[in-house]
A and B are shown apart, each in its own frame.
Chain A
Amino acid sequence: MELKTVCERLDELVVELFDKLEDLTAARKRMDDHLKQGFFNLAKARYSLGVKGVGQIQYAAIMDPLVHVHLSEEDGCNKFNLDRIIPNKSSSGAVKKVSFDDQESKVRRRHTGRGDEENDEQKERSDEREEDEEVAQLSSGVEELELRQVANPHSLQDPLRWFGILVPPCLRHGQHSFSQVIAQSCQVANLQSQIDQLRLEYRQLLRQKQQLVQQSA
């Protein structure tokens, strides 16, 4: 490579580096703003839930991550992509929903007078059909059950539930702020990785330039 092309590439790298540094500063600023908001909301939640109401005592003993980072390689540097699992709300609010349904069915039975027997017959028939289907799918049913147990464990619940069922809205807002911080942190990690890559390339080219200068001298 000629000295001129090396110098031009070095200039390009410096410009690119400063662009990335500017992006990094902006991303950091956004992350800091979300963090500030998150801390503020947590403090407000602590005010309503009590001093010990928001802390490590409430952490679940079993927890699985709802956020994963996928790594890919792009132009020689690593790219961090965020993947979020939305927790199943039925698992968290199951008890309440079931009790509500039971109550509703009891009320229906009480108010329907003559149609009760017909309803019962229909229900029995449908139950028989369901039983037959269950027997027919017995072999596959076991597998499905196991899969369901794996896919829907208690650990995959919304972390908000650690703090109770009716949590204050500020805790919910705090969770939202911290989710945004997590998304921003991936962007910051990407930019840091790119800056590091540029730095290495710059050092390498600078060494090459020094060698070329020595050779020409």
Chain B
Amino acid sequence: MARMMKAGKLISVIGDEDTCTGFLLGGIGEMNKERKPNFLVVEKDTSVSEIEETFKNFLQRPDVAVILINQNIAELIRHVIDAHTNPIPAVLEIPSKDHPYDASKDSILRRARGMFNPEDFR
């Protein structure tokens, strides 16, 4: 039987301007009391360290349940995404306008593929 744990968590986004605009139109945007948003618009001049720091902040925020990140941006901080093994927040890699989704790069699918080690079947 289902057991409710906590109510009303957020979906956060790290992506290009179009991705963020679309999801904010969908109604996920929040600006909290400390004026910290639950999204990051990645532009040409956004540094990798800034993306990494924001992603880590989202991981630590207790009110975030799902993190949506463009796959091309996820590639820049792959080591941080691979290190995250907790089920909450769930990290979803999504395509962007000019980078289609590639399943072979997805962390979850790569982990699932790693289950089948040829040595296990001997």
Please, which residues of chain B bring their CB within 8 A of the CB of A202?
A: 115
Option from A24, A70, A179, A206 in Cβ contact (under 8 Å) with B9 = A70
Option from A43, A54, A182 in Cβ contact (under 8 Å) with B23 = A182
Within 8 A of A (CB), among B100-116: 100-101, 103, 108-109, 111-112, 115
Instruction: Judge whether A6 is part of the interface by a CB distance below 8 angstroms.
Output: no
Cβ of B25 and Cβ of A69 under 8 Å apart?
no
Instruction: Judge whether A78 is part of the interface by a CB distance below 8 angstroms.
Output: yes
Q: Once the chains are docked, how many angstroms separate the CA of A65 from the CA of B27?
A: 6
23 pairs from A and B in contact (CB 8 Å cutoff): A42-B18, A65-B11, A65-B30, A66-B27, A68-B8, A69-B10, A69-B11, A69-B65, A73-B2, A73-B5, A80-B65, A159-B25, A174-B22, A175-B25, A177-B22, A178-B22, A182-B11, A182-B23, A189-B92, A192-B108, A196-B108, A196-B111, A199-B115
Q: Nearest 4 A-B pairs (CB), nearest first?
A: A66-B27, A178-B26, A189-B90, A69-B65
Instruction: Judge whether A83 is part of the interface by a CB distance below 8 angstroms.
Output: yes
Option from B24, B29, B90 in Cβ contact (under 8 Å) with A193 = B90
Q: How many residues of B contact A (CB 8 A)?
A: 46
Given contacts A62-B31, A80-B65, A203-B115, are A71 and B6 in contact (CB under 8 A)? yes
Please, which residues of chain B bring their CB within 8 A of the CB of A197?
A: 87
Q: How many residues of A contact B (CB 8 A)?
A: 62
Please, which residues of chain B bring their CB within 8 A of the CB of A59?
A: 21, 24, 29
Chain A residues within CB distance 8 Å of chain B: 17, 21, 24-25, 28, 31-32, 35, 38-39, 42-43, 54-56, 59-74, 77-80, 83-85, 87, 159-160, 171, 174-175, 177-179, 181-182, 185-186, 188-189, 192-193, 195-197, 199, 202-203, 206
- For A87, the closest partner residue in chain B by CB is B27
Instruction: Judge whether B83 is part of the interface by a CB distance below 8 angstroms.
Output: no
Within 8 A of A (CB), among B67-109: 68, 87-88, 90, 92, 94-95, 97, 100-101, 103, 108-109
- For A56, the closest partner residue in chain B by CB is B41
CB distance from A112 to the nearest CB of B (A): 45
Cβ of B22 and Cβ of A192 under 8 Å apart?
no
Apart from A28-B103, A195-B108, 18 more pairs, CB < 8 Å: A17-B115, A25-B103, A32-B100, A35-B94, A35-B95, A59-B21, A59-B24, A63-B31, A63-B37, A65-B28, A69-B65, A71-B6, A72-B4, A159-B25, A159-B29, A178-B26, A189-B66, A192-B90
Cβ of A185 and Cβ of B18 under 8 Å apart?
no
Instruction: Judge whether B50 is part of the interface by a CB distance below 8 angstroms.
Output: no
Q: Once the chains are docked, how many angstroms separate the CA of A54 from the CA of B9?
A: 27
